[in-house]
Amino acid sequence: MNEQPYIIANWKLGLDYKQSQALINEVKENHVVLSTATQLVLCPSFTSIEYAVTQCSDTAIEIGAQNIYREPKGSFTGEVSVTAIQQLGCRYVILGHSDRRKHFHESDDDVAHKTKLVIEQELIPIICVGETYEERQSQQAELVVRREVKEALSLVKPIDNRPIIIAYEPIWAIGTGQAINPDQAKLMGMVIHQMLIDMYPEEMLHNFSVIYGGSIDASNVVSFVDGRVIKGVLVGGASQNFQDLRSLVLALGKQ
Ligand code: PGA
């Protein structure tokens, strides 16, 4: 099981093909410094996955996809299958990101089907869960997160020694520059861990890691990752240019 803290770089639709190539090249040139103390996972657009995998193949940096379709194959024009990204050399897949839940109406059922496919292909799911601002204000945050975790895992049995990552991302903290208070993140991390304890036998629990996402950068990353409750971060904005990404990795790596 990975003991280094995760830094999952979610490039979203922030970089085009050429910009992704340029950033991948910079990452590759600096791979030793970027992968000494953290597990860095780059998640570019589908079109840049193959380039990222090739460039990073002789480094400790891993590549992830930002999504897959909920069915393995069929008449689903424009979608990308889990097998396709697995064959490209991806090891990780982000699932149920709030961008997808919001703009593409992804449901808990979609996330459950995708999680199943990802685990069957022996890839590592990064399952995103988190409440809206209104839900937090009305004391619904825990309820929402519990539901999303339970549903996402409802079709799978964890396989021994295959990691499953759950990313707690309060939606109102994503891309706003206003991260949640680290203690609140840890509290939700503990809720998720307790759920997992209730759901799975003890020997399976080491498969799971909880990470935090939402306005993370080099200045605040250390206060979130304690290696016990929160084992890493999912980062959007501060992972999409080399200087910010490097500062982030160095800040966490120095701990
Ligand atoms: P952010 O995005 O770091 O820009 O807030 C996080 C995410 O969307 O996963």
Catalytic residue among 113, 131, 169, 202: 169
pLDDT at 116 over 90: yes
Is 157 a residue whose pLDDT tops 80?
no
**Residue 48 near residue 83 (C-beta atoms within 8 A):** no
Q: Which has more pLDDT, 167 or 204?
A: 167
For residue 5, the model assigns a pLDDT of: 96
Does residue 72 surpass a pLDDT of 70?
yes
Determine if ligand 1 sits within 6 Å of the CB of residue 215: yes
Ligand 1 in contact with 182 (CB < 6 A)? Answer: no
Ligand 1, atom 6, residue with closest C-alpha? 236
Cβ within 8 Å of residue 29, ≥6 positions away: none
Q: How far is the CA of 212 from the centre of ligand 1 (A)?
A: 10
Instruction: Please report the pLDDT score of residue 3 as a whole number.
Output: 81
pLDDT tens digits for 171-220?
Answer: 999 999 888 999 999 999 999 999 999 999 998 999 999 999 999 999 99
18-71: per-residue pLDDT in tens? 999 999 999 999 998 888 889 999 999 999 999 999 999 999 999 999 999 999
Contacts 24+ apart (CB under 8 A), 189-192: 189/229, 189/230, 190/229, 191/142, 191/145, 191/146, 192/129, 192/145, 192/149, 192/166, 192/168
The 10s digit of each residue's pLDDT in 80-114 is 999 999 999 999 999 999 999 999 999 999 999 99
* Between 158 and 186, the higher pLDDT residue: 186
97 as an active site residue: the answer is: yes
> Is the Cβ atom of 214 under 6 angstroms away from ligand 1?
yes
Cα separation, 28 vs 155, in Å, equals 37
Q: What percent of the chain has pLDDT over 70?
A: 98
**Whole-number average pLDDT of the chain:** 95
Query: Is 169 one of the annotated active-site residues of the chain?
Result: yes
Q: What is the predicted pLDDT for the residue at 255? A: 67
Average of per-residue pLDDT across 220-235: 96
The active-site residue out of 97, 113, 131, 135 is 97
Q: Is residue 254 scored above 80 in pLDDT? A: no
Q: Strands 92-95 and 6-10: what pairing?
A: unpaired
Look up the pTM and report it: 0.96
Q: Lowest mean pLDDT: which of 65-74, 78-87, 245-254?
A: 245-254
Q: Are 27 and 239 in contact (CB under 8 A)?
A: no
Mutate to test the pocket of ligand 1, among 126, 171, 216, 220 (most ligand atoms within 8 A of CB): 216
Average pLDDT over residues 238-244: 97
Atom of ligand 1 nearest to the CA of 237: 4
Ligand 1 centroid – CA 98 distance (Å): 10
Q: Given the CA of residue 179, which atom of ligand 1 is nearest to it?
A: 5
Rg (CA), the chain: 17
Structure tokens at 224: 């979130």
Quote the ligand 1 centre to 227 CA distance (angstroms).
20
Q: Provide mean pLDDT across the span 118-137.
A: 96
Q: Which of 13, 67, 174 to mutate to test the pocket of ligand 1 (most atoms within 8 A of CB)?
A: 174
